[in-house]
Amino acid sequence: MAQATLAAVQEAIRGYRDPYLATDLISAGAVERLEIDGEQVLLEVLLKYPSEYLQDGIAQLLKVAIENVAGIEQAQVSVGWQVEPHKAHEQLANIENVKNIIAVSSGKGGVGKSTTSVNLALALAKDGARVGVLDADIYGPSLAMLLGVPAGTRPQTIQEKFFKPVQALGLQTMSMAYLVTENTPMVWRGPMVSGALQQLISQTVWDDLDYLIIDMPPGTGDIQLTLSQKIPVSASVVVTTPQDIALLDAKKGIEMFNKVSIPVLGVIENMSIHICGHCGHEEHIFGEGGADKIVAEFNSELLGSLPLSKYIREQSDSGLPVVAADGDSEVAQMYINTARAMAAKLSTLAVQQVPEIQISED
């Protein structure tokens, strides 16, 4: 009878399919504890991606499902989450106090990569994660403007060698824009840019980050390759639009990450559809179905499709991105769902093994 009850309870748990992991919680390895004592059930679930605003709802769904099992009167269900560290290249030294580094890239400029990066970071933070953003576009940094950081803001220094990240809308941020004026042209060659970015990352005193989002410069040249090989990136995301030329460049971006053995979590299709603000008519201005073709060709995933929206543009220009301005809006929820899909996909990669240090007396 006990075995039959256990099987029935497990089947009830499997009835909930995590929409971001695309599997049930038992198959995902998220069930930490399951005990049955007569008519009582104790279930503890630990998700590996930020789930602050999901955990209560998931717990309630599981509780109802288990209590519907014959012979079970009461279920005590708790759902928590914990982000684990990942790193693509084990030979690279970790960035202190940073669990995961996600490079957000695009094959070309003008696809909304920076806006997407910032809103993804805000979405992860909204779900409870500790998040930092590094603006790696030395030539055209836009992070300060997107997050409403006042002009002339400078990071505090520690021992005249390290930078404290600038706090903005709950994010820890660093950008070349904090170190130069907006009228200063960055006339640097590739190696100088690569060196500057490595310094920005390694000399910034990040404070216990679950994720560091790097807003990469557009393109697939020397700078991108150098960053991919010298920074302990966990994984990458490629942002594109449905436009044919953007899709072509997005393919190059995926191939670049494949060559340097950095996992591509998936593709984000920006400006996928325009919804008229007056009549609600939907129109695929830049084409349709392009990202699906890339996903199929590279055996990747479409993490999310984001609209061409005047509201997104207006909020970004005002220094208060949509996820921060109105997290319950339909557009903000698109970013939040995309960020969850990204974090959940990262959680399925092999966990970085931290070496055990043993101390003994000789």
Of 304 and 311, the one with more pLDDT: 304
Q: What are the tens digits of pLDDT across the range 146-170?
A: 999 998 889 998 888 899 999 999 9
Does residue 241 have a pLDDT over 60? yes
- What pLDDT is attached to residue 218? 78
Give the dihedral of Cα atoms 334, 338, 341, 344; nearest 10 deg: -110
Q: Inform me whether the pLDDT recorded for 283 exceeds 70.
A: no
pLDDT computed for residue 275 by the predictor = 63
Q: Contact 196/188 with Cβ under 8 angstroms? A: yes
Domain covering 2-81: architecture = 2-Layer Sandwich (3.30)
What is the amino acid identity at position 206? W
Radius of gyration of the chain from its Cα atoms, rounded to whole angstroms: 22
Q: Alpha carbon of 170 to those of 54, 167, 227, 306, 320: distances in Å? A: 20, 6, 26, 23, 12
| pLDDT on residue 357 | 34
Q: Is 115 helix (H, G, I), strand (E, B) or coil?
A: helix
Euclidean distance between the first and final Cα of the chain, in Å?
A: 56
* pLDDT bucket at 19, cuts 50 / 70 / 90: very high
Whole-number Å distance between alpha carbons of 335 and 124: 9
Domain boundaries, the chain: 2-81, 98-347
Least trusted range by pLDDT, from 254-263, 287-296, 326-335? 287-296
* pTM summary value: 0.89
Write the single-letter amino acid at 71.
G
Tell me if 268 sits within 8 A of 228, measured CB to CB: no
Q: What tens digit of pLDDT does each residue of 33-58 get?
A: 999 999 999 999 999 999 999 999 99
212/177: higher pLDDT: 212
Burial 53-90 (b: 16+ CB within 10 A, else e): ebbeebbeebbebbeebeebeebebbbebebebbbbee
Of 139-153, 185-199, 214-228, 316-330, the one with minimum mean pLDDT is 185-199
CA distances from 119 to 31, 77, 94, 321 (A): 30, 32, 25, 6
pLDDT at 358: 37
Write out the DSSP string of 331-348: HHHHHHHHHHHHHHHHHT
Q: Which amino acid is at 333?
A: Q
Assigned fold of 98-347: Rossmann fold (3.40.50)
Count the helices and strands in the chain (H runs, E runs).
11, 17
Would you say residue 2 has pLDDT above 70? no
Q: Which residues contact 120 (CB under 8 A, 6 or more apart)?
A: 104, 213, 237, 335, 338, 339, 342
Pairing of strands 209-215, 157-158: unpaired
pLDDT of 360: 35
Q: Pick the more confident residue, 311 or 75.
A: 75
- Work out the pLDDT band at 282, boundaries 50, 70, 90: low
Helix axes 244-259, 290-298, angle to 10 degrees: 20
Look at 79-83, 97-101, 203-207, 224-228 and tell me which has the smallest mean pLDDT: 224-228
Dump pLDDT digits (tens) for 92-141.
888 999 999 999 988 667 788 899 999 999 999 999 999 999 998 777 78
Q: Is the pLDDT of residue 335 over 90?
A: yes
**Average pLDDT rounded to a whole number, residues 337-359:** 74
Alpha helix stretches (DSSP H) within 28-108? 55-67
Q: Does an H or E element contain 325, and which?
A: helix 322-325
